[in-house]
Chains A and B, each alone.
Chain A
Amino acid sequence: MNPTLPILEANHLRVEREGTLLLDIPSLKIEKGETLALIGPNGAGKTTLLQTFSLLITPFQGALFFNGKRVGTELSVLEYRRKLAMVFQEPLLFQTDVFNNVASGLKIRGIKKNEIHERVMEQLERFGISHLRNRSARTLSGGEAQRTNLARAFAIQPEFLFLDEPFASLDPPTRDSLLVDLESVLSHTKTTTLFATHERLEAVRLSDRVAVMNRGRIEQMGPPEEVMNDPATEFVASFLGIETMLKGKVVRKEGGTFVASISGKEIEAIGEVDCGEAVVLCIRPEDVTLSSSPLKEKTSARNVFTGRILRIVPLGPYQKVHLDCGFPLVAYITHPSQKTLSLTEGIEVKASFKATAVRVIKKG
């Protein structure tokens, strides 16, 4: 097999219904083992994209390739579908017990009974639902049902996995624990994954690349930090909110805090991490304080940087200030403060934020 060949490739994909354009993807390549997050508002085309890629929506224009083979001609639709697994927001379990639900994809493939047993038990174990195996799917809680759904998807050992907002209808604690489990399963199996969500932090945490969708099109695609820090379009910027996201490595730990190196600068943050671990630090613009240099009053903020103002953009009652501190940083400031500090583009200011204001995303 040619190693440079993407596992999935779409060319000139278009879906139209009753004259409305639902999806327009000129080209999309997905590498083996990567996780691509699709983010965007409702109706952006995330679900349509996933369902077109799994050939559940027909007809569509354009071509899909799996490992270079054209789906529909060189590879039959059924063969292609048997390489994928799909997880919807609703668990969509069958009216039988948990074991048989997880086994359903394997039964459809006509796999032998003892192998089914082995593979199902492995997945039940992996998602922590072994004790539920004889329970009726109807009696499960939302979290248990979605675990069963994920186990069913992984049981078929898919070449690639489509997740359509799998956690959207779960309560936050359940969602977090499932997210942790999914993250570890994905890093273990290295299953190629397309993941639709409207939670941007979920996307950043799980994905290698993020594609921001709007009106059936991909507005921007790239590594999460790049998309977050450098939105290509106004839509991307407004949908993502303006948040600084910095990729770095943990260099030291001091008690409960740690220091991460971000393009040569050191930022202090709080969290349970290991030295050398890759992290993404998120800083909300409202947590950044600007002052004219030199710093007069004492501040509890440990992170103080000198930065040059690149741009000032009016944003309702605030001004949005883009800074270059050796890394990109965005701050909000009120109109009166801007006047007192006499901030203009091009000048240097001191920017500070507390260690507690930094949100830490681990990128294992």
Chain B
Amino acid sequence: MDLIFQGIKKAFYLLVTFDPEVMGITLLSLRVSGTATLISLLLGISTGTLIALTQFPGKRFVVSLVNTGMGLPPVVVGLLVTIFLWRNGPLGFLGILYTPMAMILAQAVIATPIIMGITVAAIQQLPNKLRLQILALGATRVQMVWILIKEARLPLLAGVMAGFGGVVSEVGASIMVGGNIKGYTRVLTTATVMETSRGNFDVAIALGVILLMLAYTVNLILTTIQQKEKNR
């Protein structure tokens, strides 16, 4: 109990003193996971909408695949991305292994199926006739898709939260492709793992608390938007 209390005290201290190392780690976490979530949003919502709105042979197979992807183990993603980015791997020429770029890539691979899966479900739950009504209102195909996405905005916001929550708390892939390099690729999760293994529980707890607060703040903002929309 004392250990936890000490940790929380330390976390508070690190926060109010704006400890430069902790700040750097926190900001990197936010930057990497935020960028990965944005990329996943673009890919996930566009592809998810396309899957939901088109009929093609093997659609059920593809949707199952996406849904499986929602639970993709980060270590497996880390392994695959590492293999791809390895010096003599297919994407080795990029030379981005052990950089924040690689972490963004890995996290985007994790978050994209989550957002895609939720998008497919969100678009499919809209009434079928809504598409017809939008077209009958004179919409072009692009306008129709845009209106449908706007209609599904509440579940899509949930998708954003799930995607961001999934990657900001993920450690396996980040440590494999980022390498936990101090001041360069060290993020909250990888730092927590390291401090724990060193026995620095107070710092580890501090980092954990910051991670929780970060996740909470982002979700609070998104939830506020969602609830406001819902009560409109």
Interface residues of A (CB under 8 A from B): 51, 54, 56, 78, 81-82, 84-86, 88, 90, 92, 94-97, 104-105, 108-109, 136, 138, 152, 156, 162
Contact = CB atoms under 8 A, between A and B. Distances in A.
Interface string B115-129: 000000000000101
Contact of B127 (A78, A85, A92, A152): A92
B199 interface: no
Contacts of A90: 127, 129
Given A78-B140, A156-B137, A56 B132 contact: yes
B138 A108 contact: yes
B138 A156 contact: yes
A138 B129 CA distance: 17
B137 A108 contact: yes
B136 interface: yes
Contacts of B231: 136
B220 interface: no
A92 B129 contact: yes
Given A90-B127, A92-B127, A94-B151, 4 more contacts: A86-B137, A95-B153, A95-B229, A138-B232
Contacts of A162: 136
B135 to A, nearest CB: 6
Contacts of B153: 95
A108 B127 contact: no
B137 A105 contact: yes
6 contacts: A51-B132, A88-B133, A92-B130, A95-B150, A97-B232, A105-B138
Nearest to A134: B232
Interface residues of B, number: 20
A88 B153 CA distance: 24
A56 B138 contact: no
B200 interface: no
Interface string B148-174: 001101100000000000000000000
B138 A86 contact: no
B143 interface: yes
Nearest to B131: A56
**Binding site of A, secondary structure by majority: helix, strand, loop or mixed?**
mixed
A210 to B, nearest CB: 24
Nearest to A50: B136
A136 to B, nearest CB: 5
Nearest to A138: B232
B133 A78 contact: no
A92 B138 contact: no
A94 B136 contact: no
B193 interface: no
B139 interface: yes
Given A104-B137, A156-B138, A86 B151 contact: no
Contacts of B154: 95
B138 A78 contact: yes
B147 interface: yes
A51 B231 CA distance: 34
Contact of A136 (B135, B151, B232): B232
Contacts of A51: 132
Contacts of B140: 78
Contact of A56 (B135, B147, B150, B151): B135
A318 to B, nearest CB: 42
Closest 4 CB pairs of A and B: A86-B136, A82-B138, A92-B133, A105-B137
Interface in B208-232: 229, 231-232
Nearest to A135: B232
B147 A81 contact: no
Contacts of B138: 78, 81-82, 105, 108-109, 156
A56, A82, A108, A156: which has the most chain B beta carbons within 10 Å?
A108
B129 A88 contact: yes
Nearest to A94: B151
Given A90-B127, A90-B129, A92-B130, A54 B136 contact: yes
A219 B130 CA distance: 31
A84 B136 contact: yes
Contacts of A84: 136
Contacts of B229: 95
A86 B133 contact: yes
Interface string B40-53: 00000000000000
A94 B137 CA distance: 12
A95 B151 contact: yes
A56 B137 CA distance: 11
Contacts of A88: 129, 132-133
Nearest to B138: A82
Nearest to B154: A95
A108 B139 contact: yes
A96 B140 CA distance: 20
A96 B232 contact: yes
A92 B140 CA distance: 18
A136 B230 CA distance: 10
B230 to A, nearest CB: 9
Contacts of B132: 51, 56, 86, 88
A42 B4 CA distance: 68
A195 to B, nearest CB: 15
